[in-house]
Each structure stands twice: as C-alpha cells, then as structure tokens.
Amino acid sequence: MHIAFAASEGVPYSKTGGLADVVGALPRALAALGHQVSVYLPRYRQTQLTDPQMVVRSITVPFDDNYRFCSVLSGGYKAGVRHYFVEYPSYFDREALYSTPAGDYPDNAERYTMFCRAVLEASKILGVPHIFHCHDWQSALLPVLLKSLYQDDPAFKDVNTVLTIHNIGYQGLFSSEILPLLALPWDLFSMDKLEYYGQVNFLKGGLKDADYITTVSKKYSQEIQTAEYGFGLDGVLRERAANVTGILNGVDYDEWSPSTDGYIANRYKPEELFGKTKCKEDLLEGFGLADANPKLPVIGIVSRFAGQKGFDLLSQVMDRLAREEMILVVLGSGEKLYEEMFARMTKQFPGKIALKITYDNKIAHKIEAGADMFLMPSRYEPCGLNQIYSLKYGTVPIVRATGGLDDTIEPWDARAGTGTGFKFTEYTGEALLATIKNALQAFRDQTSWQKLMKNGMAKDFSWSASAKEYAKVYEKVRRMRATVAASAPVLSKTTG
C-alpha cells in the first residue's frame, strides 16, 4: 500500500514538538512492514537538505488576490521513505515555523492552504497514494479539499484519508473572511464543514471529512470526546466515534536507550546499573550541585513551562516540596510565571533545586539517565514521550493519570513487585504532593526500588507495534471504501 504523510514538521528536518518525532519515525516503521511511504513537508529555513533535487518545478495555487507558484524538491530516499518538500520562501523561509514571540504568523491560513494544495497537485505527478495520512490542523484541510474542490478529479477517486490529532488544543482558527482569499467556496462555511462559532476551523473541517481519525493514545481518544478535554470539538468527535481510535506513539530506542546513549556519562543496562550512579553524579555536577548528597533522590523535569503541563499544581505545593529530602533539577522554558517561580525557588533553596531555562537535547538525555524520578503532572497529555524515555532509563515516572501518561504507566505495588511508576487522578496540588511523597518513601527501600526500575526498563514501546496498528487502520479504511463502492447502484445502459 502507498501511504503519503502530509505534515507541518518532521525530524530530522524540522521540529517544534512530538508531532515531528512521529512523522520522523512512523514512516520508517511502515516501510519496514513493506509499505510504500512518502512524506510531504514544507521547506523551512531550518530544513537542511544535503542534495535536494527539483521534482516539480511549478505548481499553481489560486488565491483570490493573485496566483502563487511553488515548487517541490526531493530530499531523497532513506530507510524506505521518500521525502518531498514544498518550497515557497515567502511563506516558509522564516525564523520559526508557526509564530514569533508576538504571536502566530497572521498568514498561517494561507501558508498551510498552499501546502495542502501543493501536496495534492504534486502527488498527481509523483504518485497518488492509496492513503493520505494528515496530521493536526496544518494539513487537516487536505480531506476537505478532496471532498470539495477535488471531488470530481479522477486522479483521487480511490484515495482515502486518515487524520491524526496530536493535540486538539491547536485547531487552526481564522476569521471567516479568509475563505475568499483562499479561493475556497462559501458553502464550506457551514456547521457540517469549517464553520465554528462564526470562525473558520481547519481541524474541525478535517474531522468532518477525513475517512478515519486517530489520536496518539487510547485514553486521549476517549478524553477528547468529553467537554473537559475536547476544546469545543467533542461533539464532532462523538458523531464520528465509530471511526475514531487511539494508537499510542512509539519511541525511537536508537536515540533513547541508556545502553547506547552517546550523551550520558556512563552507559548502563538493567543487569548493570552501576553506570546510572555515574550519570547521577554527572547530572548534579552539570547543574552546579556537585556538593549535594548523591544519596538523596533526584527528581527531573524536562518540559515546556505551561499550565497544561501541570505547573499550576506544582506552584501550589512548591514550598512544601522543597522541604522534602530530595533534589529537583529542571530543564525548560515557557510562561514567565513559571520561569520566575523556579528561579525564585533556586535562590531560596540553593543546593536542592537547580534550573536551566532553555531546551538542550544533550541535557535532556543527561536528566533521563541521571535522575531517579521524572515528574509529569500534566492537566492533559495526548501521549507524552518523556515518561516512556524515563522507563527505559530506569528513571521512575510520577505522572497524572491522563492521556498517554495513564496508558503507559502502571501503578507500583511494592507487595506484588508489579508496576512501573506512580500516578494520581485528582487534579489538585495536594494529590500531586501526596504522590511525590509516596515515591520518595518507596525510594528508601533500594532493593524494592531496583525491582521497580527494572520493571520499567523491560517495557517495549518501539514503533514497530504502533506501525502495525496504523496499518490495520489503513486496511480498514480501504475496506470501507470497497464496501461503499460495492453497494453503489449500477446504472445500466439500454438501447432502443
């Protein structure tokens, strides 16, 4: 089967978050199963291509004020996957992918409408797939286009679409006045299509028109069908419930494994954990805590600082947490409120709390290897990857039971010796603090703790299992089309 991914980012070419990791890894895993896979991405300023080849010199994309002309480059064939890049410097050659510190780029609707149109037109030349696999709002317009402007195009008569939601909090909301500029018909501005409380909602349109909808964990697929987590689209998803499923993201163990990690001070395995002690010493030194007691448990955080990530809860209990017998190391950046909170706490509790306001991949690896515990108290978390990395590194996760965090972490039962971490359900500071205290108490029994560590290290969340589940979705969608085609009335031609 030929599957074409259309996404706004993908490693190693562009990245702002977990979407890029999925678009980088899942196509390779599908190719390993024998599928033909293509990936379409915008060519951003940060996109580094070794030897790009022009494969489509000019694609005409109509806009109300003028035509735009973009091209498509090939990034080559790697690990069974072909990568193509839509090039239009006016839209994509910018400092960042989606926004500046002042806010989103005001022409984002135009940028990603062009991208979707270019993918469709390029595929007619480079190969029309059986499945277009779209990701988040930036490519959600593609299923809408196929069921409107392109519905009579014979090139796409056998094409199906799958749309994956990575974070439903980002939907692509724009003024309704954008439709004429995008050369899209006004009949798309209806409750059954793009209209959303007087605005245009790209993600809603994709959810309405995609043949199948997936998201990045089973629990999150259930949560987004509720008012609490659906960000206003829960009703749309409940209408499509028969064609909605959750498939847990995999992780790339070639990059995230303590037995091969080139960033950490000492590699280690479940049967040889001495190296983790060396990694802990290196971590403490790197955060200016070389004089700290290395026998104290170290809690690590690597995150964007935002309310969604549970830092509002942490702020409620931070003073009391800092007085526990532990060390906290924090890597990340984000909302000023939380940056200032951590900075204040490092001054108030020097030697116990350390902070680096940045994102550094090398330091992130060092935290995963050197910490004893990893904290993720998210309000919601579609999948989460750090808790899965932590398991492999024997760094015990402390999480809130939401989305992929709930799906991947099993509560520790010391008597039975089962489980992989600690989690809480109620979204309160008190529940968070009580769960951290439980983990700190468990850490005191090192024999039991090593069993807990090894339980997590034995877990396998590699992409191969996830890819097989996606392949089942593609096959199901193809069968759905075949069933519809078989049930369609046959028109007979008579002569007289």
| Single-letter code of the amino acid located at 409 | I
214 and 336 together in one domain: no
Domain enclosing residue 150, as ranges? 2-250+464-483
28 and 83 together in one domain: yes
pLDDT of res. 286 = 97
156 and 234 together in one domain: yes
Mean per-residue pLDDT of the chain? 95
Q: What string of DSSP letters covers 354-366?
A: EEEES--HHHHHH
pLDDT of res. 495 = 43
Q: What is the total count of domains within the chain?
A: 2
What token pair was written down for 1?
A: 């089967």
3-class DSSP state for residue 212?
strand
Q: Is residue 245 predicted with pLDDT exceeding 90? A: yes
pLDDT of res. 496 = 37
- Asked if residue 494 belongs to a domain, the reply is no
307 and 357 together in one domain: yes
- Asked if residue 259 belongs to a domain, the reply is no
470 and 407 together in one domain: no
CATH of residue 162: 3.40.50.2000
- Asked if residue 269 belongs to a domain, the reply is no
- Asked if residue 105 belongs to a domain, the reply is yes
Sign of CA dihedral 248, 254, 259, 265: negative
Strand 195-196, strand 199-201: pairing: antiparallel
- Asked if residue 263 belongs to a domain, the reply is no
- Asked if residue 333 belongs to a domain, the reply is yes
Complete edge-to-edge strand list for the sheet that includes strand 36-42: 53-62, 67-78, 81-87, 36-42, 2-6, 131-135, 160-165, 212-215, 244-246
CA distances from 64 to 123, 180, 406 (A): 24, 6, 47
| Single-letter code of the amino acid located at 137 | W
Average pLDDT over residues 161-187: 96
202 and 317 together in one domain: no
44 and 161 together in one domain: yes
Longest dimension (CA), the chain: 99
For 257-286, write each residue's pLDDT tens digit.
999 999 999 999 999 999 999 999 999 999
167 and 28 together in one domain: yes
Q: Based on DSSP, count helices (H) and strands (E) in the chain, helices before strands.
A: 18, 20
d(CA 279, CA 275): 6
Q: Which residues contact 58 (CB under 8 A, 6 or more apart)?
A: 69, 70, 71
221 and 341 together in one domain: no
38 and 176 together in one domain: yes
d(CA 399, CA 395): 12
Q: How open is the CA angle 196-200-204, to the nearest 5 degrees?
A: 60
Give 240's DSSP letter: T
Q: Is residue 93 predicted with pLDDT exceeding 80? A: yes
pLDDT of res. 491 = 56
For 36-91, write each residue's pLDDT tens digit.
999 999 999 999 999 999 999 999 999 998 899 999 999 999 999 999 999 999 99
8 and 143 together in one domain: yes
pLDDT category of residue 481 using cuts at 50, 70 and 90:
confident
pLDDT category of residue 492 using cuts at 50, 70 and 90:
low
d(CA 342, CA 149): 51
pLDDT category of residue 230 using cuts at 50, 70 and 90:
very high
- Asked if residue 493 belongs to a domain, the reply is no
- Asked if residue 312 belongs to a domain, the reply is yes
351 and 443 together in one domain: yes
Average pLDDT over residues 127-156: 98
Q: Is residue 304 predicted with pLDDT exceeding 90? A: no
d(CA 63, CA 90): 15
